[in-house]
A and B are shown apart, each in its own frame.
Chain A
Amino acid sequence: MLQYSLKRICLALLVAVTVSFLSFMLVRVSGDPAFALAGENASESELAMVRQQYGLDRPVLVQYFDWAGRALHGDLGQSPYFKEHVVVIIGHRLQVTMILGLSALAFALILSIPLGVVAAIRPNTWIDRLALGLSVFGQAMPSFWFGLILILIFSVKLRWFPVSGSTSWRHLVLPTIALGYYGIPAFMRLTRSGMMDVLSSDYIRTARAKGLRAASVIFKHALRNAIIPVVSVVAVQLGFMLGGSVVIESVFAINGFGLLAYESIARADLPMIQAIVLILSLIYVVLTLLADILNALLDPRIRVS
């Protein structure tokens, strides 16, 4: 177990270093970032000044190690737009998005796991078809459009929820649904197929042969095993949802991390873009790491060996 964890952590570190390099290089895809920083109509001397100010005249690798070194100390640079430290701006915005992401995740799990379980217990019934239909529809629905339609129906027509903003829990209902529905197909299909596999396994037959009640067979013996693969997908999906907040926060005008990302991209706030891509990638790396370790803890075959 210890060896497994160490190996997994090493991999995570390696991935973290790679994504940090990629997010650093990302803003250089168009060539010299000085053009973006100094503005379109900058003169040659202004460009030179910007280059010096941001240290862009040094070799790229030196710049990267300098940037990464400061990032390790929690300094991701200054935002030319806010004239402030990137980290300060990001902190609060990230909190808003985390709340949104977690509630979207909870919404998706609460809906999809019971549905997946019931669909697996009663295959080819109306509820199985409903679950399948829901997941097929969910996969095909463009999230930004779904958000707009939710606004049209529940804010404009029915006036149940506000159109946009993020000041109360009522503001979060529609964005939660628009962001969370995207995870439903994955969770539900995985729960259903996992439960189907487990329910046809020998040890479930043993459990039934003991005379255990249906609830005990399903929840104690089947779900416990079927849920293990869902754990890793939960981490992956939460990562996707945080990424998807770029779209959903723009639709609902929520002042979170995603909207900040979108606006920073629109105004070519390079240090901010670097920082946001880096932070989202690192969150994903940490989430998948935690999921793998949790997975190992849930499975005695890995834990006790």
Chain B
Amino acid sequence: MSKLLEVNDLSIDLPVPAGTLRAVRNVSFAVDKGETLALVGESGCGKSLTALSLMDLLPRAAKRRARIFRFDDLDLMALGERKMTDIRGRRMSMIFQEPMTSLNPCYTIGNQLEEALLRHQTVSRKQARERAVFLLDKVGITAAGSRLKQYPHQLSGGLRQRIMISMALMCGPSLIIADEPTTALDVTIQAQILALLSSLQDEFEMGMIMITHDLGVVSRVADQVAVMYCGEIIETGSTKALFADPLHPYTKGLLDCIPVPGRTRRGAHLSSIPGTVPTPIGELTGCVFRNRCPEVTAACSEGLIETRNFGENRSCRCLLMQV
């Protein structure tokens, strides 16, 4: 039995004035039913583009390539736009980063929720409304019936994000992609939304991809983690293993930047990673992290650095790691 989603060697190119931005290069990952994969990295590392490419919602100019791009035993690369619209929203849904601008200001919440179901299933408007009320209730919105008649501008950011979540769930998808779903929200609401997503995922047995730059979020929700840096996945592993024993110097650096209970010593200074992320235009030689790496060697500047496996579900793209 193959996995729910399997991506192998996915690359995304984006034309920019200075040349071709090789925004995502040869990333591979997989998600199974009921499992959460966190794609974590700094802003601009290509994680959002990776998410959009799964839904085939990349900007028009962007080009994607992949060796394997399989979802539910369907080859997504071979699927045309028409067939893809049948999958989007029905079997694979996405929750976006900006709840304030992600809802159409001209239509009521009810209209926008119902249309997702009406598009994919032959149901009456009444049935669609019932489903919407049911889901609004599920995401913890009270007085769901009257909320349906409201317009987006009448609701707070937290409410809107809950609505975005219920919208994504309207058709009962098997995979849900959440792109920084809590970044634009207050801290207290962030925790609620994350807890909500986790419980809904358990209840409906969905696979989930959580895109985030926040390691705190990762530790709360993810089963598996893939760390992205400048368009590459440089390390993968189970959340537990990765937090306990980071292999790649970048991951180590990231973890040193945040306080982790039991790991960070009391009174110790939190560090930061010096230098800046390079702009991926042109041919890459050697390791993409070497200009910021504290453990850099001469060999890091040469050839291609392979991704090597270190046990089950554990890989790292670094020369220094010995098996």
- Seen from chain A, the residues whose Cβ lies within 8 Å of a Cβ on chain B are 201-203, 205-214, 216, 221, 224-225, 298-301, 304-305
A210:B96 contact, CB within 8 angstroms: no
A221:B104 contact, CB within 8 angstroms: yes
Given contacts A205-B57, A205-B96, contact A211 B101 (CB under 8 A): no
CB distance from A159 to the nearest CB of B (A): 48
Which chain A residues lie closer than 8 Å to B102 at the CB level? 202-203, 205-206
Q: Which of A202, A211, A298, A305 contacts B96 (CB 8 A)?
A: A202
Given contacts A209-B93, A212-B119, contact A203 B57 (CB under 8 A): no
A206:B104 contact, CB within 8 angstroms: yes
CB distance from A207 to the nearest CB of B (A): 7
Q: What are 5 of the A-B contact pairs (CB < 8 Å)? A: A202-B101, A203-B104, A206-B104, A209-B88, A213-B85
B151:A225 contact, CB within 8 angstroms: no
Cα distance A202–B119 in the bound complex, in angstroms: 20
Indicate if B7 sits at the interface (CB-CB under 8 A).
Answer: no
Cα distance A145–B67 in the bound complex, in angstroms: 62
Q: Who on chain B is nearest to A228 by CB?
A: B106
Which chain A residues lie closer than 8 Å to B55 at the CB level? 209
Given contacts A201-B101, A300-B151, contact A211 B85 (CB under 8 A): yes
Indicate if B120 sits at the interface (CB-CB under 8 A).
Answer: yes
Q: Which of B166-187 contact A (CB under 8 A)?
A: 167
Indicate if B2 sits at the interface (CB-CB under 8 A).
Answer: no
Given contacts A210-B115, A213-B119, contact A224 B106 (CB under 8 A): yes
Q: Which of B107, B115, B151, B153 contacts A212 (CB 8 A)?
A: B115
CB distance from B167 to the nearest CB of A (A): 7
B89:A299 contact, CB within 8 angstroms: no
Q: How large is the interface on B (under 10, 10 to 19, 20 to 34, 35 or more residues)?
A: 20 to 34
B105:A225 contact, CB within 8 angstroms: yes
B98:A202 contact, CB within 8 angstroms: yes
Q: Which of A203, A210, A299, A301 has the most CB atoms of chain B within a 10 A radius of its CB?
A: A210
Q: Who on chain B is nearest to A303 by CB?
A: B151
Indicate if B288 sits at the interface (CB-CB under 8 A).
Answer: no
Question: Which A-B residue pairs are the 8 nearest by beta carbons?
Answer: A211-B89, A211-B88, A210-B89, A202-B101, A203-B104, A300-B151, A210-B116, A202-B102
B105:A209 contact, CB within 8 angstroms: no
Other A-B pairs, 18, CB within 8 Å; known A225-B106, A299-B105: A202-B96, A202-B101, A203-B105, A205-B57, A205-B96, A206-B104, A206-B164, A210-B116, A211-B88, A211-B116, A212-B85, A213-B119, A216-B115, A216-B119, A224-B106, A300-B105, A304-B154, A305-B153
Which chain B residues lie closer than 8 Å to A201 at the CB level? 101
Indicate if B5 sits at the interface (CB-CB under 8 A).
Answer: no
Q: Who on chain A is nearest to B164 by CB?
A: A206
Cα distance A202–B97 in the bound complex, in angstroms: 9
Given contacts A202-B96, A301-B153, contact A211 B87 (CB under 8 A): yes
B119:A210 contact, CB within 8 angstroms: yes
Which chain A residues lie closer than 8 Å to B106 at the CB level? 221, 224-225, 298-300
A304:B88 contact, CB within 8 angstroms: no
Which chain B residues lie closer than 8 Å to A212 at the CB level? 85, 89, 115-116, 119
Q: Which of B85, B88, B119, B153 contacts A300 (CB 8 A)?
A: B153
A301:B105 contact, CB within 8 angstroms: yes
Q: Who on chain B is nearest to A203 by CB?
A: B104
Which chain B residues lie closer than 8 Å to A300 at the CB level? 105-106, 151, 153
A301:B151 contact, CB within 8 angstroms: yes
Indicate if B94 sits at the interface (CB-CB under 8 A).
Answer: yes
